[in-house]
Chains A and B, each alone.
Chain A
Amino acid sequence: MAVLFRRLEEQDELESFDCGDEPLNNYLKRHAWTNQQKSSIGVTYVAADEAAPRSIIGYFTLATASVPRHGFPKKYVRGLPPYDLPLILLARLAVDRRFSGRGLGHALISEVFKIALRVADDVGCRCIITDAYRDRADWYARYGFVPLEGAAAGGPQRMFLDIRTIRMALKTVVRKNSVDRDSSM
């Protein structure tokens, strides 16, 4: 199955999307387009099967945010750059149940990382933050997301991934590709 990734479009068919989580289904069906196009408070990227390009099988939503420098505890401020901390919020990520177990979540998060690097290059950003469901925190941890301490009990687990770690991953890939190319010559 060849999967396409792109921004959500108005004509996309969303009603059949079911990831097994009602708030995530509802967000895609009722709010994602409005938030993207009218309110501009989050951009939703979708995955679609190339054979049925209007039928959405997975999505994620991104926005940018920042932490004001004065918001940090004083003892840490000295070690931080003298600016607000810009970040990307991975607000939602979901895969349709019918397509789970096929690596679509991995493909979606790959897109998240690529977009994050592009945003970091274009306008600057220091990390990705996500509020993961507690039972999904391990999945994010596999990619290097670190849980932040102090999340409200019973709420989602806020997690952090340094953009520099993503850059290092990209460098590793580039280095490995060039070694592979050299050894095949």
Chain B
Amino acid sequence: MPVKAKQPRKPQQAERTIRKSKFQADLAPTEDRIVRGLKQELELGSNTDFLTEALALFRWAVWERKRGRRIFSESETGERKELVLPRLERVAPELTLPRVEISWTPRELESLAALVGREPAAPTEPLIRAMRG
């Protein structure tokens, strides 16, 4: 009886192509309108493109908060608004140190501004020794 050589197994479809997942969401009419509006504004052709862009932005925001950075928008006049989302705050690390308010005299602020604007001073010998320990 002739022996049939075993054919190498064909790779499965999933092994040959990158697996893509479907993402389905139930949106309220208002949210649906927002999505459509944003897609139009940003000239995004499909829901997939929309999700990819939104994901990139969300991922960045999460990453920034994870590193303890805060996210602001700034107007032309310097007015700033902070983005605070309860979900994002969950990933923010607990700051090492709490925050306090300090009062300053105008002269102190002037002196501080002058020092901050300058090149840093060279470290003193005791400071170098302190960093050695």
Indicate whether A173 sits within 8 Å of B99 (C-beta atoms), given known contacts A142-B124, A148-B108, A149-B110: no
Size class of the contact patch on chain B: 35 or more
Q: B95 contacts A169, CB within 8 Å?
A: no
| A85→B108 CA distance, assembly (Å) | 14
Q: With A67-B112, A109-B130, A119-B97 given, can you name 14 additional A-B contacts, CB distance below 8 Å?
A: A41-B98, A41-B100, A65-B102, A67-B109, A79-B117, A80-B116, A82-B78, A113-B131, A146-B115, A150-B107, A160-B115, A165-B123, A168-B123, A173-B131
User: Given A113-B130, A123-B68, A73–B123 Cβ distance below 8 Å?
Assistant: no
Shortest beta-carbon contacts, A-B, top 6: A150-B107, A76-B113, A169-B123, A164-B120, A110-B130, A79-B117
The majority secondary structure among interface residues of chain A is mixed
Interface size on A, residues (CB 8 A): 60
Q: Contacts A41-B98, A64-B98, A76-B113 known; A123 to B69 CB distance under 8 Å?
A: yes
Query: Contacts A115-B96, A146-B115, A168-B122; is A69 near B130 (CB within 8 Å)?
Result: no
